[in-house]
Amino acid sequence: MELREILAEGSFMVWLRLAEEISKSHDIQVLRAPETCTMMLQAIDSVGQTPFYLGEVLMTEAAVAIQGKPGYGFALEDEPERAVCIAVIDAALAAEVPEGEYIRKIIAAEAERITERRLQESGLVAATKVNFAIMEG
Protein backbone atom coordinates (compact mmCIF):
# COMPACT_ATOMS: atom_id res chain seq x y z
CA MET A 1 0.00 0.00 0.00
CA GLU A 2 1.37 3.41 -0.97
CA LEU A 3 1.90 6.23 1.53
CA ARG A 4 -0.73 8.50 -0.10
CA GLU A 5 -3.29 5.70 0.04
CA ILE A 6 -2.60 5.08 3.74
CA LEU A 7 -2.79 8.79 4.58
CA ALA A 8 -6.03 9.19 2.59
CA GLU A 9 -7.73 6.17 4.14
CA GLY A 10 -6.24 6.24 7.64
CA SER A 11 -7.93 7.47 10.81
CA PHE A 12 -8.25 11.25 11.05
CA MET A 13 -7.73 11.10 14.84
CA VAL A 14 -4.42 9.22 14.39
CA TRP A 15 -3.20 11.80 11.86
CA LEU A 16 -4.38 14.69 14.06
CA ARG A 17 -2.44 13.41 17.09
CA LEU A 18 0.64 12.75 14.96
CA ALA A 19 0.52 16.21 13.31
CA GLU A 20 0.12 17.84 16.75
CA GLU A 21 3.19 15.96 18.03
CA ILE A 22 5.21 17.01 14.98
CA SER A 23 4.13 20.67 15.32
CA LYS A 24 5.27 20.77 18.97
CA SER A 25 8.89 20.24 17.99
CA HIS A 26 9.05 21.75 14.48
CA ASP A 27 8.20 25.08 12.91
CA ILE A 28 5.40 24.58 10.36
CA GLN A 29 5.29 27.07 7.49
CA VAL A 30 1.97 27.21 5.63
CA LEU A 31 2.61 27.31 1.90
CA ARG A 32 -1.02 26.94 0.86
CA ALA A 33 -3.91 27.24 3.28
CA PRO A 34 -6.48 24.49 2.89
CA GLU A 35 -8.90 25.13 0.07
CA THR A 36 -11.46 23.07 -1.76
CA CYS A 37 -11.15 22.14 -5.40
CA THR A 38 -12.57 19.61 -7.80
CA MET A 39 -10.60 16.87 -9.50
CA MET A 40 -11.50 14.34 -12.14
CA LEU A 41 -11.74 10.83 -10.67
CA GLN A 42 -10.07 8.31 -12.94
CA ALA A 43 -10.88 4.60 -12.98
CA ILE A 44 -9.76 1.60 -15.05
CA ASP A 45 -12.24 -0.33 -17.17
CA SER A 46 -12.15 -3.92 -15.94
CA VAL A 47 -12.64 -5.42 -19.40
CA GLY A 48 -10.41 -3.34 -21.67
CA GLN A 49 -8.06 -2.10 -18.92
CA THR A 50 -8.41 1.41 -20.31
CA PRO A 51 -8.67 4.50 -18.11
CA PHE A 52 -11.81 6.60 -18.06
CA TYR A 53 -13.15 9.44 -15.91
CA LEU A 54 -16.06 8.80 -13.56
CA GLY A 55 -16.59 12.52 -12.97
CA GLU A 56 -15.54 15.28 -10.63
CA VAL A 57 -15.03 14.90 -6.89
CA LEU A 58 -14.75 17.60 -4.25
CA MET A 59 -11.34 17.64 -2.54
CA THR A 60 -9.44 19.76 -0.05
CA GLU A 61 -5.76 20.47 -0.62
CA ALA A 62 -3.11 22.06 1.59
CA ALA A 63 0.66 22.55 1.55
CA VAL A 64 3.11 23.20 4.39
CA ALA A 65 6.88 23.09 4.85
CA ILE A 66 9.16 21.86 7.61
CA GLN A 67 12.82 22.89 7.41
CA GLY A 68 12.15 24.13 3.88
CA LYS A 69 10.84 20.75 2.69
CA PRO A 70 7.29 20.88 1.32
CA GLY A 71 4.52 18.50 2.25
CA TYR A 72 1.19 18.16 0.51
CA GLY A 73 -2.14 16.99 1.84
CA PHE A 74 -5.26 16.00 -0.03
CA ALA A 75 -8.59 14.87 1.40
CA LEU A 76 -11.89 13.91 -0.14
CA GLU A 77 -14.78 16.31 0.47
CA ASP A 78 -14.42 19.50 2.52
CA GLU A 79 -11.94 18.38 5.21
CA PRO A 80 -9.41 21.17 5.77
CA GLU A 81 -8.05 19.79 9.06
CA ARG A 82 -7.39 16.38 7.53
CA ALA A 83 -5.60 17.93 4.53
CA VAL A 84 -3.36 20.00 6.82
CA CYS A 85 -2.54 17.00 9.05
CA ILE A 86 -1.57 14.93 6.02
CA ALA A 87 0.55 17.81 4.68
CA VAL A 88 2.38 18.11 8.04
CA ILE A 89 3.12 14.37 8.09
CA ASP A 90 4.28 14.46 4.45
CA ALA A 91 6.55 17.45 5.15
CA ALA A 92 8.01 15.79 8.26
CA LEU A 93 8.93 12.72 6.23
CA ALA A 94 10.38 14.87 3.44
CA ALA A 95 12.45 16.85 5.97
CA GLU A 96 13.69 13.59 7.52
CA VAL A 97 12.93 14.82 11.03
CA PRO A 98 14.42 12.86 13.96
CA GLU A 99 10.97 11.41 14.74
CA GLY A 100 10.83 9.87 11.25
CA GLU A 101 11.06 6.30 12.50
CA TYR A 102 8.23 6.89 14.98
CA ILE A 103 6.11 8.48 12.21
CA ARG A 104 6.74 5.49 9.92
CA LYS A 105 5.71 3.09 12.72
CA ILE A 106 2.40 4.93 13.19
CA ILE A 107 1.81 4.87 9.42
CA ALA A 108 2.64 1.15 9.26
CA ALA A 109 0.17 0.45 12.08
CA GLU A 110 -2.55 2.33 10.19
CA ALA A 111 -1.71 0.40 7.01
CA GLU A 112 -2.15 -2.83 8.93
CA ARG A 113 -5.49 -1.65 10.32
CA ILE A 114 -6.67 -0.67 6.82
CA THR A 115 -5.62 -4.04 5.40
CA GLU A 116 -7.44 -5.84 8.21
CA ARG A 117 -10.60 -3.82 7.59
CA ARG A 118 -10.45 -4.52 3.86
CA LEU A 119 -10.11 -8.25 4.52
CA GLN A 120 -13.14 -8.18 6.79
CA GLU A 121 -15.14 -6.25 4.19
CA SER A 122 -14.18 -8.63 1.38
CA GLY A 123 -15.19 -11.58 3.60
CA LEU A 124 -18.60 -10.01 4.13
CA VAL A 125 -19.00 -9.39 0.41
CA ALA A 126 -17.85 -12.93 -0.48
CA ALA A 127 -20.49 -14.37 1.84
CA THR A 128 -23.22 -12.74 -0.28
CA LYS A 129 -21.84 -13.91 -3.64
CA VAL A 130 -24.26 -16.00 -5.67
CA ASN A 131 -22.96 -19.00 -7.62
CA PHE A 132 -25.33 -19.19 -10.57
CA ALA A 133 -23.93 -22.56 -11.72
CA ILE A 134 -25.21 -24.19 -8.55
CA MET A 135 -28.61 -22.51 -8.90
CA GLU A 136 -29.15 -24.05 -12.39
CA GLY A 137 -28.78 -27.70 -11.40
**74 in any annotated domain:** yes
Mean pLDDT of the chain: 92
How far apart CA 26 and CA 38 sit, in angstroms, is 31
**133 in any annotated domain:** no
The total number of structural domains in the chain stands at 1
Which has more confidence, 128 or 48? 48
Domain residues for the domain of 82 are 3-127
* Amino acid making up residue 79: E
Which pLDDT belongs to residue 40?
Answer: 93
In the chain, the N- to C-terminal Cα span, in Å, equals 42
**87 in any annotated domain:** yes
**132 in any annotated domain:** no
pTM assigned to the model: 0.84
Going 98 to 6 to 11 to 32, the CA torsion angle's sign is: positive
**136 in any annotated domain:** no
Phi, psi of 131 (to 5 degrees): -100, 100
**118 in any annotated domain:** yes
Measure CA 25 to chain center. Answer: 24
**41 in any annotated domain:** yes
Q: Closest by alpha carbon to 8, among 121, 117, 110, 128?
A: 110
137, pLDDT greater than 70: no
**137 in any annotated domain:** no
Q: What is the pLDDT of residues 64-107, one digit of tens each?
A: 999 999 999 999 999 999 999 999 999 999 999 999 999 999 99
> pLDDT band for position 121 (50/70/90)?
confident
